[in-house]
Structure 1
Amino acid sequence: MGNGGDRLSIALVGTRGVPARYGGFETCVEEVGWRLADRGHDVVVYCRTLDDSGDRADTFRGMRLVHRGAMRKRSLETLSHTGLSVAHLLRHRTDAAIVFNAANSPYLPLIRAARIPVATHVDGLEWRRAKWGRGGRSYYRFAESWAVRWSDALIADAQGIADYYRDEFAADTQLIAYGAPRVDQESDLLAELDLQPGGYHLVVARFEAENHVDVIVDGYRRSRATKPLIVVGSAPYADDYTRRVHGFADDRVTFLGGVWDQRLLDQLYAGAYTYLHGHSVGGTNPSLLRALGAGTATIAYDVSFNREVVRGSGTFFSDAAGVARAVEAAEAAPDVVAERGRLAHERAADYDWDAVADAYERMCERLALRELSRPKRPVFAQRTGRPARANAAAAANAGEVTAP
């Protein structure tokens, strides 16, 4: 354990908290957090609460939970919750803190002023999301540079994200991808939905433009596929986009909304003939990793993040016509789909949550020992579009964390 065997106190800040019911950050917090707690560390997870209903647990899987509210507005929900969380953290200092989401970087100077060593998990290219207007995109660009300036270390979950921070900011990162869960091959709950293993295609995604659920549904509608398409997901702030997605559907498409029963969700992944993945800006995605862990052949949107994860176990699309071709080809070649599923299961073994927890533990040990120092870099991105290799080398020589 940390400090040559000493117990560390570690704060995980900036997410919706645990149990994980939303996205990649929450999945990472739960999977890493309980493992660190199981190793004897005092892990504090800040959880977002939007109402006063229900009991609030004090602990979960060995982690201590601190509940704080948030403003009910998309542009302020994350920042307001993190602000309340940081206010608590400043009064209850820990040996190390991990802040998730570069959007929370304005609070980093306060954390550092309290002499709490801090690393920032920078997420994907959030400023590329269509849901943000010009002001939102400008803010995220600024927040990225602020994270570079004020973090003791940066964490990227995909090589493409690490490359972006090196090229834009001459900033080295610790490359720590997510883990892939081991999904049991059970199917007893599928009958309740009138589904059979191998009898449907699956989409699991929040309804956001960058996840291309509309493209997938539109492409499927254009295809001659006979297996139905099951769509899991919704979005609290995207009514127009949701209507667009539903408008493309025909009677072969079934929308389940959000599925919070993890056992049912796992059975949906494991029983799917193919899993269609449209995410394009978020780095390594837990939904894609879950499909790999289930041994399900994947049809993914063609971006570097997805190619990095899927490799030879999947095929790719870039538009609705590509979805139609891929779905039809899959239904015409079950032997090929079965082989791709086998390769997916093999690929999942490369994403191990125990190894991920090891990497976080080592980082927290180095933070607590103050072996990592704040980068000395300008606040704003270079915006030249060209890699700053010389500056990156200089940064590495300053003793910062580097990607493996």
Structure 2
Amino acid sequence: MARHVAILGTRGYPSYYGGFETLVRTLAPYLADTGWDVSVYSRPGATVDDDPARDMRIQSVVSRGVDTQSLSTLSFGATSALSTVRRRPDVALIMNVANGFWLPFLRAARIPTVVNVDGIEWEREKWGANARRAFRLGAKLTATHATSLIFDSVGIADRWQTGFGRDGTTIAYGGTVPGMLDVPLGLTSGKYALLVSRFVPENTVDEFLEAASVIAEKHDVVLVGSSGYGGELDAKAEKLAAENTRVRWLGHVHDDQQLFALWRHAGAYFHGHSVGGTNPALVQAMACGAPTVARDTVFNREVLGDNAVFVPPTAPEIAAAVTALLEAPTVQHRLGAGAEERARHHYSWDSICEQYDTLLRRHLPQEISGPRISAVGSGTTPRSSTVRTHVTADRPASGVPTATAL
């Protein structure tokens, strides 16, 4: 008997917006390989429908909501949850504690829920007081009503045990180790500083932009990211790039290969995230062998080990550390090689996806749990380079994935 998982709380499949979307792009095909029917709730216009890497077995269910910074997660979560109650999958995988408000409905419908709690959202500086209270309440409801919890780091697990008395399963994020990549955008390998970040205060973006003015006196600086909604940090990056020929602001980069190449050839990658657990961008930077200067937090130390330079969140300290690393190729090589090796051993996607598969299966009724179908060694082309055309019986025989609107 088929087993069905619904994935809620991301921008959809396939989407390139952030860490959760990267996880779903990798996890959904893996689950399909191991015998799951997979549905992913998606926001209108947020997916790349003509993506050649799209797996045709994954069903996209388009939900509706209010696409603003303060209401998007709650509103899209509400419509997705109500649709899930109606469609009745065997288990729901839910991202973000803001969706905790809708867990009582899923619980009442006897749909098991596995929730990836993400970071400590109610401590993010980008949110106002009301939003922080909402995230905190969503976390309490998640602790009360979720069947199982996923923490992406030991540090996050400790916070939930201390703050909410809930245990769960610790599953990090994965990274893709790329092959040979050309130096991008006419840059010089090992000679430029790189920031890849959503432009929000808790990611130390403002401090890095201030430091960039100093770094750019001698070295190129590449900025990747934006707030997604405009604002002061976007304006500051735009002004900095306009006034300094050594600074490039690329905005959001959708092309994974270009982003991997930027990490691979950077002389110093700055990672300033402060309130998350295992950050997906950091894991991918490690997999690309990026020599890293990181904000000194318990989360970043857990992920990087001793393969980084750690600094306090001040512009002078950041500028000094980044400049020193750009001028020390031997240190660049040591840190980059160590980070890549750590990513290979601790943050491989196959391992991460297998852990998700195992956890989801624990919530299936006995009669449909069935034997696990191996996703590895089947003689097929690796998932990263395969365009799948297989469809299940309830999907169109043409090989075009179903995009269901609520």
Whether the 8 Å contact between 1:182 and 1:294 is mirrored in structure 2 is: yes
Contact 1:225 1:331 (8 Å CA) reproduced: no
- Whether 1:255 aligns to 2:249 is yes
Q: Does 1:280 align with 2:249?
A: no
How many Å apart are 1:234 and its aligned residue? 1.0
**1:2-401 alignment to 2 at 5 Å?**
7-50=2-45, 60=55, 62-187=57-182, 190=184, 193-223=185-215, 226-246=218-238, 251=244, 252-318=246-312, 319-349=314-344, 350-369=346-365
Give distance in 2, aligned partners of 1:169 and 1:332.
46
Q: Distance in 1 between matches of 2:232 and 2:326?
A: 32
> 2:14, 2:49 → 1: CA distance?
14
> In structure 2, how many angstroms separate the alpha carbons of the residues matched to 1:305 and 1:181?
20
Task: Sort the Cα spacing of 1:239 and 1:156 in 2 relative to 1 into closer, same or farther, 3 A.
Answer: same
* Aligned CA distance change for structure 1 residues 54 and 309 (closer, same or farther; 3 Å): closer
Answer with 150-159 or 23-32: which moved more: 23-32
Instruction: Give the C-alpha shift of residue 176 in structure 1.
Output: 0.5
- Aligned equivalents of 2:5, 2:284: Cα separation in 1: 27
Q: Assess, with a 3 A threshold, how the Cα gap between structure 1 residues 56 and 113 changes in structure 2: closer, same or farther.
A: farther
Question: What SS does the aligned partner of 1:74 have?
Answer: coil
Is the CA contact 1:185–1:294 (under 8 Å) kept in the aligned structure 2? no
Deviations 1:181-226 (A, max 9, x none): 11223116x1xx2213223111111111111112112123234762
Single out whichever of 166-175 and 25-34 deviates more from structure 2: 25-34
| Partner AA of 2:63 in structure 1 | R
Partner SS state of residue 99, structure 1 = strand
Preserved contact between residue 237 and residue 249 of structure 2 (Cα < 8 Å): no
- Give 1:301 deviation, angstroms: 1.0
Q: Which residue of 2 aligns with 1:376?
A: none
Cα distance in 2, alignment partners of residues 197 and 333 from structure 1? 13
In structure 2, what is the Cα distance between the partners aligned to 1:270 and 1:184? 10
Measured in 2, the distance between the counterparts of 1:200 and 1:281 equals 27
> How far apart, in 2, do the equivalents of 1:289 and 1:260 lie?
17
Q: Distance in 1 between matches of 2:274 and 2:48?
A: 35
Deviations 1:16-53 (A, max 9, x none): 01223111111112211111111121111111115899
TM-score norm. by structure 2 comes to: 0.84
Classify 1:365/1:224 alpha carbon distance in 2 versus 1 (closer, same or farther; 3 Å).
closer
Is the Cα contact below 8 Å between 2:193 and 2:326 reproduced in 1?
Answer: no
Alpha carbons of structure 1 residues 228 and 330: separation in structure 2 relative to 1, 3 Å: same
Letter in 1 for 2:37: D
Partners of 1:325 and 1:352 in 2: how far apart? 32
Change beyond 3 A, Cα 1:20–1:184? farther
Structure 2 CA distance, aligned partners of 1:322 and 1:109?
Answer: 47
> What is the CA–CA distance in structure 2 between the aligned matches of 1:55 and 1:335, rounded to whole Å?
43
> Once the 2 structures are TM-superposed, how far is the Cα of residue 86 of structure 1 from its aligned partner?
1.6
Q: Deviations over 1:81-126 (max 9, x none)?
A: 1211122211211111111100011110111111111111111011
| Greater shift in the superposed pair: 158-167 or 13-22 | 13-22
SS in structure 2 of the partner of residue 120 of structure 1: strand
Give % identity: 38
Normalised TM-score (structure 1): 0.84
The CA deviation string for residues 208-248 of structure 1, in whole angstroms up to 9 with x for no partner, is 11111121121232347622010011122241232244456
Pairwise CA distance, 1:61: 5.1
Which amino acid letter does the alignment assign opposite residue 306 of structure 1? N
Give per-residue Cα distances to partners, 1:37-85, cap 9 Å, x unaligned: 111211111111158998899x735321111122122111111112111
- In structure 1, how many angstroms separate the alpha carbons of the residues matched to 2:353 and 2:182? 30
2:216–2:247 CA contact under 8 A, matched in 1: no
Q: Are the aligned partners of 2:38 and 2:59 in contact in 1 as well (CA < 8 Å)?
A: yes
User: Structure 1 stretches of 5 or more lacking a match?
Assistant: 1-5, 371-404
Asked if the contact 2:118/2:277 (under 8 Å) is kept, the reply is yes
Q: Is the 8 A contact 1:330 1:337 kept in 2?
A: yes
Distance 1:237 1:62 in 2: 32
CA distance in 1, matches of 2:178, 2:203: 23
3-state DSSP of counterpart to 2:131: helix
